[in-house]
Amino acid sequence: MNKMAKGAMAIGVGAAMLLGGGGTLARWNATEAANAGTIVTGNLDVTAAKGVWTNTKGVVIANINDYRVVPGEALTFTQTLDVDLQGAEMKATLGLNKLPEGTSSNMSFSTPTLKQKGQPVNPMSLTQANDGEMTASTTFTFKDTAAGQQDVNTRIDLGDINYVLNQVAK
């Protein structure tokens, strides 16, 4: 073999050893911190204060447990809510969970009516701008379709009804 062929062969064997033999070829690289800051998550919460019941005529009911509702009557429950909606893109709805099992089919309830600083608020379209205190009113109606003695002397426990604040997914 001539010198050139031997030299080329030596270079080829050396390169093969570097690549396949566990060696590395050096290449330049550099890193720099992105300084991206810190992400902070938002919050979604609701707290209810003690409420007040009123009857169809707007009269305050001192003790709802002693009040006797009749067909065609509507009772309204009003209370202050502290709504915590934190997040630049926060969107939420506020409603009530369903009536308890065994509740009469002659009873229904409305979506809460909300007011914040005296202004109406859409409970189906809450945003971070609605963060804070608001007043919620919900009307419970005993339908006038009760026939005969249907639902006479029936106790309807509304103690398990809760406000439900749900984030609306984007």
Show the tokens assigned to 81: 């809510």
Neighbours of 24 (CB within 10 A): 7
Phi, psi dihedrals of residue 4, rounded to the nearest 5°: -65, -45
The residue to which tokens 């630049």 are assigned = 88
pLDDT digits (tens, 9 = 90+) for 124-147: 999 999 999 999 999 988 878 767
Question: What pLDDT is attached to residue 157?
Answer: 73
pLDDT band at 76 (very low <50, low <70, confident <90, very high): very high
Question: Whole-angstrom Cα distance, residue 82 to residue 45?
Answer: 8
Rounded to a whole number of angstroms, the distance between the first and last alpha carbons of the chain is 73
Q: Which residues pair with 165 in a beta bridge?
A: 94
Question: What pLDDT is attached to residue 43?
Answer: 93
Question: What pLDDT is attached to residue 60?
Answer: 97
Question: What pLDDT is attached to residue 26?
Answer: 75
Show the tokens assigned to 166: 């749900």
Distance of CA 38 to the CA centre of its chain: 24
pLDDT digits (tens, 9 = 90+) for 30-51: 999 999 999 999 999 999 999 9
Question: Whole-angstrom Cα distance, residue 125 to residue 114?
Answer: 11
pLDDT of residue 100 exceeding 80: no
Average pLDDT over residues 54-60: 95
Show the tokens assigned to 77: 């429950």
Question: Whole-angstrom Cα distance, residue 124 to residue 136?
Answer: 13
Of the ranges 11-20, 37-46, 113-122, 158-167, which one carries the lowest mean pLDDT score? 11-20
Distance of CA 163 to the CA centre of its chain: 11
> What is 72-137 written as a DSSP string?
T-EEEEEEEEEEEEE-TT-EEEEEE-PPPTT--TTEEEPPPEEEETTEEE-TTSEEGGG-EEEEEE
